[in-house]
Structures are given as structure tokens and as C-alpha cells.
């Protein structure tokens, strides 16, 4: 079995694979400061809750966009799981060739998503990740990471509304009954959700137009991705475990 960890800006998602089968998933908050011992104990306790023993882990892999947590997290994994984690970064075998102007600036999470989407669904493919930021990454038929678009995620937009406008409240992000809102909360929900749908459809259309790729598959993932994928025909596939699958695939490519 292997332990895979995706460290995002808001949450840390963990998965345990036995072969290609995802046996268990867990989530932890990223923003809470923790020592290596705290990480190690929490992870071992989470594994224990699913009857997974650390001695059954043959390895681990981590992709992170939050550098500040890495020293403690990696130390905790070494000390408490007995594995030496592979960190996704420059020099890691991925099977994806990055042809953007600054390949080192591409986040590890985006590379992992690209690997999974290309391996699972083939290219050309546009990968959407609805996380803290909403990202759109174009992978060519030849497996080249050709372009990426980054926009504020719905949670960031929501927080900007209630933190910068004194009379606007915190809200749950969900689709309202109608876009024709008649009170504050549903009006905010309408703006966030329908605004994201509109942005998604326009960006996908523009990527097709400027790239000249007509047979482009569109694959979405991320916490709020299901909400948007259910509301538009522009997204072909929603894959909630795309990032974890990408980590497993990269681990296998680097196993030797």
C-alpha cells in the first residue's frame, strides 16, 4: 500500500492505495500549524481508524502548494510511517512535458492533475480544478502541458464579498432556486454560482477557439467542481479523485 497526500491551500487530502484501488481517504486542515509529531500522530491515528497499519505502507508521495508545512509534514511521515516520501517537483518523472515559459512555476497540484487526466482520459484534455483557485490547464494530444489559466475560486470570491462589504453575510455556496434572487443570501449565491458557470463555459470556449482544438475533452475535479459540472454541458467528466490518482501514477513512474 502507498500513502498519497495532496497539500492544498485550504485542505490536505490523504489517500491510501492498494494497487490501483483507493482503500481510504482523509482530510485535514492545512492552515492549522502543526509539529512533525502532531502530523505523524494524526496521520497514524487516521490510518488506524480504517485498520491500516503503518508497517503495511511501502511508500508515500506528497504534492504541495504550501511550502511552510513541508518540513514538519515530511518529518512526521518519516518518523511515524517509516516511509521516505517522494515530493513532486522538478526532476520527478511525470510523463508530462511542460512547454510553458517557466515550467518551474507550475504548481505541483496542477502537474498531478494533468498526469491523471492524460493517463486516464487521453489528450487533448482541459483539466479544471475548482479549489481555492479555479485552474484550467491544457494538455495536448502529445502529453504537453501547453497553457494554464488561473482565476479566484468561489470560496475566495465569497470571502471577498462578506469581508469587504459590511452588510453582506457569510453564506453557504450552493445553487439558489432561481437566478432572479429577491433577498441578499440568494443574490450572493446566484452571483457566485452562475458567475462561475458563465466563466467556465466562456474560458472553455475561448481555449477551443485560440488553440484550434475541437475534440477537446474537459475533465473537472475539486471540492466545488461537482456543483458546476452538474450545471453545464461544457464539462464532460467530473472526477473527484483525479488528484489522488495522479499521485499514485507519479509514484509508480518513480518507483525504481
Give the pairing of strands 217-221 and 237-238: parallel
E strands, 65-216, where?
86-87, 97-98, 125-130, 133-139, 144-152
Q: What is the DSSP letter of 166?
A: T
Contact 176, 190 (CB under 8 A): yes
DSSP 88: P
Q: Does the annotation mark 102 as catalytic?
A: no
In the set 37, 102, 109, 215, the catalytic residue is 109
CA–CA distance, 180 with 177 (Å, rounded to integer): 9
- Residue pair 219/125 in contact (Cβ under 8 Å)? The answer is yes
d(CA 172, CA 149): 26
Pair type for strands 125-130 and 133-139: antiparallel
**Residue 24: count of CB within 10 angstroms of its CB:** 17
74 in Cβ contact with 63 (< 8 Å): no
Question: How many CB atoms are closer than 10 A to CB 123?
Answer: 22
For 144, other C-beta atoms within 10 Å of its C-beta total: 18
List active site positions.
109
Amino acid at each position: 500500500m502507498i500513502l498519497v497526500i495532496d497539500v492544498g491551500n485550504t485542505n490536505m487530502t490523504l489517500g491510501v492505495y492498494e494497487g490501483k484501488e483507493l482503500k481510504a481517504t482523509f482530510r485535514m486542515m492545512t492552515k492549522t500549524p502543526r509539529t512533525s509529531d502532531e502530523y505523524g500522530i494524526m496521520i497514524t491515528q487516521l490510518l488506524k481508524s480504517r485498520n491500516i497499519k503503518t508497517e503495511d505502507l511501502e511508500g508515500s508521495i506528497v504534492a504541495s502548494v504550501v511550502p511552510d508545512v513541508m518540513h514538519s509534514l515530511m518529518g512526521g511521515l518519516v518518523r511515524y510511517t517509516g516511509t521516505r516520501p517522494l515530493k513532486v517537483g522538478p526532476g520527478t518523472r511525470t510523463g508530462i512535458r511542460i512547454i510553458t515559459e517557466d515550467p518551474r512555476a507550475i504548481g505541483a497540484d496542477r502537474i498531478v492533475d494533468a498526469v491523471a487526466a492524460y493517463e486516464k482520459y487521453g489528450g487533448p484534455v482541459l483539466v479544471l480544478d475548482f479549489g481555492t483557485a479555479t485552474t484550467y490547464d491544457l494538455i495536448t494530444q502529445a502529453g504537453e502541458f501547453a497553457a494554464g489559466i488561473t482565476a479566484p475560486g468561489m470560496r475566495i470570491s465569497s470571502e471577498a464579498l462578506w469581508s469587504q462589504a459590511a452588510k453582506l453575510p457569510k453564506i453557504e455556496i450552493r445553487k439558489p432556486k432561481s437566478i432572479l434572487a429577491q433577498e441578499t443570501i440568494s443574490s450572493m449565491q446566484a452571483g457566485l454560482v452562475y458567475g462561475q458557470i458563465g466563466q467556465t463555459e466562456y474560458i472553455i470556449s475561448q481555449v477551443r477557439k485560440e488553440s484550434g482544438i475541437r475534440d477537446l475533452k474537459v475533465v473537472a475535479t475539486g471540492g466545488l467542481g461537482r456543483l458546476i459540472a452538474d450545471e453545464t454541458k461544457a464539462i464532460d467528466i467530473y472526477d473527484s479523485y483525479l488528484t489522488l490518482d495522479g499521485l499514485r501514477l507519479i509514484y509508480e513512474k518513480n518507483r525504481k
